[in-house]
Structure 1
Amino acid sequence: MQDQRRVVIDYVSPSVNCGDFYIKRVVNEIVNVRAFILADGHDVLSASALFKHESDKQWNETRMSLDFNDEWQTAFSVEKQGFYDYKVEAWVDYALNWRHGIIRKIEDGQYVNSELLEGAEYINQVIKKVTLNEDKAYLKHLQDIFKNEDTYGEAINEATSDKLYNIFYNNPIKFLENTSKTYRVYVDRKKARFSTWYEFFPRSASEHEGVHGTFKDCERLLPRIKNMGFDVVYLPPINPIGEVNRKGKNNTTEAKEGDVGSTWGIGSQYGGHKDIHPQLGSLNDFKALIQKAKEQDIEIAMDYALQAAPDHPWVKEHPQWFKWRPDGTVQYAENPPKNIKIFYLFIGRAKIIKPYGMNV
């Protein structure tokens, strides 16, 4: 019985888990807002969807229309990247309620002088909100004829006119209004809707067989990738590869001399997740690759892998990040009968983070 509202707003959509999570759009897409809105009695209702970008201070408003059986709908466009907030507002519209009632009585042949006097009172509230001088003059004229029985015929014609309806509609007097909870939509850039990804191993980009590829070698491939219609180059991890328990060719569990190992077995004497495999080149070489790709209208995407090789520097520097077995060894990934000796990073005491793309 607490916090009751005469105007009820329910089943607002779109929403995910009743608004616990935000929905997603890309720039210039439409958010179609729907809600069930009702009230006790037969009063005329009105509703709006309010929305604003996170950088805006003022809410934008788009009016909702009744679709079917208490279900209202409208839509708004999201024009900037970032978060938008949106919510539904509804109210009893007494001015439109008055107009609805007087039309019914006029159609029934009733004398509506008292109703016209009521209309003059609603006009007195609305006239303070209108901005056009033409509309102000029109409303003042209506006040005069609504109060004068000698202009009764003109008064009932104007009371039912579309012009008065539009003024009431566009300048609502909100009574018993209610507002839904606020929902969110994250608006991403247009490329988030669709892009074409091309994956290759930089170490395989060399023109010469048996020679480890570099970022410079990757630059040579960019025009070919562009000509195939791709706009994103997706790289596996470019970090140093572990030497302890390194995997060999064809998924063998033991590496032979010269085997480069799995790029997902991250970490060695050359560094960890914040470092680049020395055979690929320097950080400046990687930045140059990104710039060259940008010139081809190609972006670089990277596989963010959270597993670590046994000789990853973090094993010694941050042992609390890993799961340790009772015998003092670090728990590693197992896929019987093969043992994939890659450690999962253990974040705090929450849970082991499973790696993405565990092709080790």
Structure 2
Amino acid sequence: MTGRFPIEEITPAVACGRYPAKAVVGELVPVSARAYREGHRALGCNVVWTGPDGVSRPFTRMRPDWDDRWYANIVPDAVGAWTYAVEAFDDPYLTWRDAVTKKTAAGQDVAELGNDLAEGAALMDAASALVPPDAQGDVKAAAAALRDPELPLHLRLRPALDLAELLWEHPVRRLVTRSDDHPIWTDRPRALFSAWYEFFPRSEGIAPPSEGKPAEHGTFASAASRLPGVAAMGFDVLYLPPIHPIGRINRKGRNNSLTASADDVGSPWAIGAAEGGHDAIHPDLGTIEDFRRFVASANEVGLEVAMDLALQAAPDHPWVTEHPEWFTTLADGSIAYAENPPKKYQDIYPLDFDRDPEGIRAEILRVVTHWVGQGIRIFRVDNPHTKPFDFWQWLIREVKRLDPDVLFLAEAFTRPAVMHGLGKIGFTQSYTYFSWRNSADELREYCAELLAAADYMRPNFWPNTPDILPEPLQHGVPSIFKIRTVLASLLSPSWGIYAGFELLEHEALPGGEEYRDSEKFELRPRDWTAAESQGRSLAPFIARLNAVRRRNPALHWLRNLRFHHSDNPQLLCWSKRDPQTGNTVLVACSLDPYHAQWANLSLDLPALGLDWSDRFTVYDELSGARYEWGQHNVVGLDPHQPAHVFTVRHPGTPPTTAPSAPAPAPAPAPETTR
């Protein structure tokens, strides 16, 4: 910054501006700065911002706070690289208005205010060239009144004093000082708001094994039969584990055993065989044409397909023979397989990015752009924290240069600094520690951490994954599955589940958090129709929550999460409010899957857009019940109904007739911002 006034502590700024902050199209992005000046003359501040097209948008005026901090919201309207800067300026109108207001209040007359009247008239002359054409007459009339000696003093001043709102939006600016530009990368809305569902195509649409015969391997065609069911639950992203050929050398058997039988299908993450590598399709799933048809079928029901990007190789991957320099060779001449003690992955060779980094980068960029060419715009990245950060920064930048709509989800259950670092360098979303946050204190503390990182790290809450079956779910109690669904889907704008969660699958290997008979190593056909017809599925409950999410824009954002006081630690209360529409959602969720819980809630009514004394109506989107509430309320929840999901109707809002059982919203077509 160079200029007349200090401008400091500008946000959002990631690592002092080293990396772009993140936003999505339509998001309110809070900008703040500390700016001040000498003496008592008025200072003004505004945000100036430039879109990916290089065109500067009209500046946004900033509001001051008591501690010389200034605040404003900007709303990006296009995908791509934005920049913003903060400007501070001398505001002569505010200085003049403050002075004449105080002088007239002190009883000063026309003779004493002669210079002020002349100064005000000159200011009106300058302002008339800055305001919109339809307001120029009012400004010129104010100038004329200030110069008219025939008018009483209060009538000479009143027209100019009444222009405060107009001249706030269109100020006379002098001594303008501008900060450095700060970058913001803006993604399409799905980068922040999404509902993910993961299934293994090889397990879908097939009959279970019978009479000692193994189940037949699923195909893209058979898996397409499951797409309407996923869409009916309200999900919009379908994530597929790797769909590439699976290695035969050191193939794992069931439950990760070292010995595989002839019928064992192996782990999809052991990528590569004689049939090809990362750019190939597993032949048992079908062909590339079959894959394209599958993607098109998913799109037709409103699902966008996400692919797994796992940068590793099975021992028989073509890379191993064609580029042995890409792997680590041990002292005995063998290639090092992956290990995460005590776990060993004998069927996987990790890449060594320090050996021929240019060659590895070129090949991976080729692979990613190949799948982008097949219609894939979302990649879930396996273990990104085990690869160099500068590689990811380069790859994401290069891919977004070719197609800015591509999104990357980081599967990085690692140290907090590393997870946050991946967000800073460009990953669109991140898996989180949500799976291990269970108590009210843990959830509030962790969400506060995520809110503090909202400028660069977007969470995606998963109650389960193929690798993680948290201990609370292992008891198979339906209410804990409901509770974790409510928490994941309504605390975070993005959430997801792995197939089988809705069927309460909960059997784990002893002493850990891994599924017994894990689908990572075997086919797991499920009879979805029978489960739903017999009432053994949470699909209707999940569909209802996803419909609530879609209907309520307050749930589309992260920064608006606010917690409210509950005197019972077994009951968590939070709200989200969309300032652009006024839509407000208030949630009370029990954390106890076994017993009824009661709590006294003390609500932060301003966080709900209400005054402290207001009475208001809440409508429960799950039960259809209505209640009249105020600041203090009593809530009771039990394992059958472990949560209230309220929409808040503000005083004076006309009553609406809400359905007692809202149907899931139809799945939208895959979004595009181009």
Q: Using structure 1 for the length normalisation, give the TM-score.
A: 0.85
Distance 1:7 1:80, change over 3 A: same
Q: Aligned partners of 2:269, 2:87: CA distance in 1, in Å? A: 51
Alignment counterpart, residue 278 of structure 1, candidates 283, 287, 312 = 283
Distance 1:35 1:160, change over 3 A: farther
- For the pair 1:190 / 2:189, whether they are aligned, the reply is yes
Partner of residue 448, structure 2: none
- For the pair 1:265 / 2:270, whether they are aligned, the reply is yes
Taking the TM superposition and a 5 Å limit, the aligned residue runs for 1:24-43 are: 24-43=22-41
Deviation at 1:138, TM superposition (A): 1.5
Contact 1:320 1:348 in 2 (8 A): no
Q: Aligned partners of 1:7, 1:338: CA distance in 2, in Å? A: 58
- For the pair 1:300 / 2:305, whether they are aligned, the reply is yes
Q: Aligned partners of 2:66, 2:93: CA distance in 1, in Å? A: 23
Q: Aligned partners of 1:352, 1:299: CA distance in 2, in Å? A: 27
- For the pair 1:122 / 2:123, whether they are aligned, the reply is yes
Partner of residue 138, structure 1: 141
- For the pair 1:8 / 2:6, whether they are aligned, the reply is yes
- For the pair 1:242 / 2:243, whether they are aligned, the reply is no
Distance 1:199 1:168, change over 3 A: closer
Partner of residue 162, structure 1: 161
Distance 1:93 1:62, change over 3 A: same
Partner of residue 221, structure 1: 226
Tell me which amino acid in the other structure corresponds to 1:323. T
Deviation at 1:276, TM superposition (A): 0.8
RMSD of aligned C-alpha atoms? 3.0
Runs (5+) with no aligned partner, structure 1: none
Partner of residue 456, structure 2: none
Deviation at 1:139, TM superposition (A): 5.0
Deviation at 1:335, TM superposition (A): 5.0
Deviation at 1:56, TM superposition (A): 5.1
Distance 1:247 1:49, change over 3 A: same
Q: Aligned partners of 2:259, 2:318: CA distance in 1, in Å? A: 22
Taking the TM superposition and a 5 Å limit, the aligned residue runs for 1:267-346 are: 267-334=272-339, 339-341=344-346, 342-346=348-352
Deviation at 1:275, TM superposition (A): 0.6
Deviation at 1:4, TM superposition (A): 6.0
Distance 1:267 1:9, change over 3 A: same
Contact 1:253 1:339 in 2 (8 A): no
Q: Aligned partners of 2:336, 2:245: CA distance in 1, in Å? A: 21
Tell me which amino acid in the other structure corresponds to 1:89. E
Contact 1:123 1:143 in 2 (8 A): no
Partner of residue 207, structure 1: 206
Tell me which amino acid in the other structure corresponds to 1:114. N
Alignment counterpart, residue 387 of structure 2, candidates 316, 336, 353 = 353
Deviation per residue, 1:70-106 (Å, 9 max, x gap)? 1222223333333433222111112432333333334
**How many percent of aligned residue pairs carry the same amino acid?**
38
Moved more, 191-200 or 307-316: 191-200
SS in 2 for 1:269: coil
SS in 2 for 1:7: coil
Q: Aligned partners of 2:6, 2:206: CA distance in 1, in Å? A: 69
Deviation at 1:337, TM superposition (A): 6.7
Contact 2:240 2:305 in 1 (8 A): yes
Deviation at 1:325, TM superposition (A): 2.1
Tell me which amino acid in the other structure corresponds to 1:176. L
Runs (5+) with no aligned partner, structure 2: 358-384, 389-409, 412-465, 468-519, 522-674
Moved more, 26-35 or 187-196: 187-196
The structure with higher relative contact order (CA 8 Å, sep 6+) is 1
Q: Aligned partners of 1:39, 1:213: CA distance in 2, in Å? A: 70
Taking the TM superposition and a 5 Å limit, the aligned residue runs for 1:1-80 are: 5-55=3-53, 57-80=55-78
Partner of residue 112, structure 1: 113
Partner of residue 97, structure 1: 95
Aligned length: 354
Deviation at 1:124, TM superposition (A): 4.0
SS in 2 for 1:198: strand
